[in-house]
Structure 1
Amino acid sequence: MKKSPYFRLVISLTLLIVTVLASTNSSSAQNNNPGPKFGIKGGLNLSQLYVEQPDVEDENMKAGIHFGVFGKIPINIFVAVQPEVLYTNMGSKVSYGGSDFENRFGIETGEIRFNQNYIQVPIALAVNVGPLNIHAGPYLSYLLSANVKNWNSSELSPNVVQQLDTKDFNRVDFGLVVGVGFDIKNVNVGARYNYGLREVGNTNLAGNLTNNSKNGVGQIYLGFGF
């Protein structure tokens, strides 16, 4: 199967992060200076698409998870670069209705759950004030899979089978992350918000249902560094 150039970019960024961590750690060890921290992290996602569409009656956050690896490369005592490679769930729960919804889309009214699974590479700049760190920076994500649940074709259009999957959504997402964390010895806890800058849907139906919406994800995480 042919690989997307964006997929190669995400893999290249991942390999670059690992290489930088390894080389920086070796250099720091030779100079007897504190080296970068490397570890694992994971936690809870609360995501929403914030769909602004006339047929939307209600929208609720969708719970998910994220997990992966992180590094913390010190520039000086106060500032560090914090790259990560994460698997993360995103999406939303959207209730559609309205008098012409079935006529327009051939779909029964009700709740539709958008489920998206990404590999995400955030690279944040962290400012350390004692155990507290404030971090912000860009992220790049590659969509591994997507599906839409709890919806049916309408009785008004019995021959129309409505299906959405990975191909109906943009493979690449990018945006910004901002958060706060506490480093307590080798344990890191914190909260972060992911603000997407790219539209989620890339087809007429997916684009109309999400109405050019972008990912918005709040995260609570726990990490262990070494």
Structure 2
Amino acid sequence: MKRILFLLAIVLFGISATGQRIGVKAGVSFSNANFEIMDLNLSPEGRTGIHFGFTGEFPLTGTLFLNPGVLFSQKGYKYRFDDEFGLGSFSGKDNMNYLEIPVNLMFKADLKGPKLLLQAGPVFGVGLNGKSFFNGDQEDIEFGGDDDQLDRMDFSLSIGGGLEYGHLQLTVNNAFGLSDITHSNDVHIKHKVFAMSLAYLFGE
């Protein structure tokens, strides 16, 4: 994790040193998950969280930019199972915190006022910690390689867009999980997140 932060810091400082833009970013996230758990009829619900951190951009062409960043991001989901055979029901939720590194390609179009932004790219996530709640009981989420642990690494694809007014960027993004965060043959979970963000970029 320290190596990832160090490399990203080099990228962002390099952007700043060459006269490009670096800034801060924050917003609200609505996360959920795609579940595949044997033949159970689960009804997942979402979690509302926050994200914040740093963002940068530098031009590749006149309208195309590389847009990396590093963000603290809250993810999670709720679930409920109602047994059709009368054996009972259960409910729970998992709340997780991630360090995320989005690496977007961003297209800008001048609308003679604000600029239209279109962006897409991979998001690399590293699980930091989390809490699991099951039928009223609470325990810490463990990351590792065992069946009862979650994979620390997460990988998703994000697409979105927004508007830019001078130093401000208002964007919305959908991130679709591509990696299964479980190690079980019976349970498969992939994150999905809708996020609204406001960024302030320093520089011209």
Mapped to 1, the partners of 2:7 and 2:86 lie a distance apart of 47
Contact 1:56–1:94 at 8 Å: present in 2 too?
no
Q: Per the alignment, in what secondary structure is the counterpart of residue 137 of structure 1?
A: strand
Task: Decide which of 20, 25, 40 is 2:16's aligned counterpart.
Answer: 25
Whichever of the two has the greater Rg, that structure is 1
Matched, 1:70 2:61: no
Q: Does 1:142 align with 2:118?
A: no
Which stretches in structure 2 are left out of the alignment for 5+ residues? 144-148
Q: CA deviation at 1:14?
A: 2.9
Aligned partner of 2:45 among 54, 60, 69: 60
Please tell me whether the aligned partners of residues 91 and 115 of structure 1 are also in contact (alpha carbons under 8 angstroms): yes
Match of 1:51 in 2: 35
1:68-107 to structure 2, matched below 5 A, reads 68-98=53-83
SS in 2 for 1:19: helix
Aligned residue-pair number: 192
Quote the Cα distance in structure 2 between the aligned partners of 1:101 and 1:151: 17
Q: Does 1:216 align with 2:200?
A: no
Structure 2 residue corresponding to 1:195, chosen from 169, 176, 191:
176
TM-score of the two chains, using structure 1 as the length reference: 0.77
Contact 1:55 1:101 in 2 (8 A): no
Distance of aligned partners of 1:152 and 1:126 in 2 relative to their CA distance in 1, 3 Å threshold: same
Structure 1: gaps of 5 or more residues = 1-6, 28-34, 103-107, 154-161
* Deviation for aligned residue 1:19: 1.9
In proportion to residue count, which structure has more strand?
A: 2
The residue type equivalent to 1:224 in the other structure is: Y
TM-superposed CA distance for 1:50, in Å, is 2.1
2:15/2:56 contact within 8 Å kept: no
- Using the size of structure 2 for normalisation, the TM-score is 0.84
- Per-residue displacement from partner, 1:170-193 (whole Å, max 9, x unpaired)? 111112111102110111101001
